[in-house]
Amino acid sequence: MGFTPLENLMMGSRSGSIDPGLLLHLLRQPNYSVDRLDRILNQESGLEGISGLSSDLREILTAMAQGNARAQLAFDAYVHSLRCHIGAMLASLGGWDALVFTAGVGEHAAQVRVAACEAFAFLGLKLDREKNAQSRLDWDIAAPDSIVRVLVIHTEEDWEIARECWKLTHRQ
């Protein structure tokens, strides 16, 4: 994330990175205000805004399976955003040893992991689809011959918060 959670990856109800010119265009429209634009970008965009259904990826996947075109579009836009940001990080880092999926979508959405990883096969990333389909955490789902490890790691945000609080209360 950047200055706000709006920068980078599209989320459930947040737009993710967008062309700043769009903001100027919308603010010039008669029914748009800064407050309305803020609400749209933070609460009515992303998966929810595109699908018209929900910010919950599980509901988007269910609707996709039922042939809902807007749900498919929301999924495709989300995966495009994810691929773009992974690619940008690869360029900044000069390569990779591992791709780590974590948090709600990363830990539980095998379909997102497949779609994200497919785009990087040309760099030697190979996903073990059987491992990926299982609901295990803290393990490597890359194929044995993948040059990049693909890890699904359980998020421990509460533990990290507790550690930081402990540090603050035990300063000397």
So where are the chain's domains? Answer: 1-94, 96-172
Confidence of residue 172 (pLDDT cuts 50, 70, 90): low
| pTM of the entire predicted model | 0.87
Q: pLDDT per residue over 9-63, tens digit each?
A: 999 999 999 999 999 999 999 989 999 999 999 999 999 999 999 999 999 999 9
* Residue environment code for 102-115, b if the CB has 16+ CB neighbours within 10 A, otherwise e: beebbbebbbbbeb
Fold observed for domain 1-94: Nucleotidyltransferase; domain 5 (3.30.420)
- Evaluate whether 1-94 and 96-172 have a shared fold: yes
Distance, first Cα to last Cα, the chain: 32
The pLDDT, as a whole number, for residue 73 is 98
Residue 160 has pLDDT above 90, yes or no: no
Stretch 119-125: mean pLDDT = 96
The pLDDT, as a whole number, for residue 44 is 95
Residues 72 and 99: their CA atoms lie apart, in Å, by 24
Fold observed for domain 96-172: Nucleotidyltransferase; domain 5 (3.30.420)
Q: pLDDT per residue over 63-100, tens digit each?
A: 999 999 999 999 999 999 999 999 999 999 999 999 99
Q: Which residue has the tokens 């890890």?
A: 151
* Residue environment code for 130-159, b if the CB has 16+ CB neighbours within 10 A, otherwise e: ebbeeeeeeeebbeeebebebbbeeeeeee
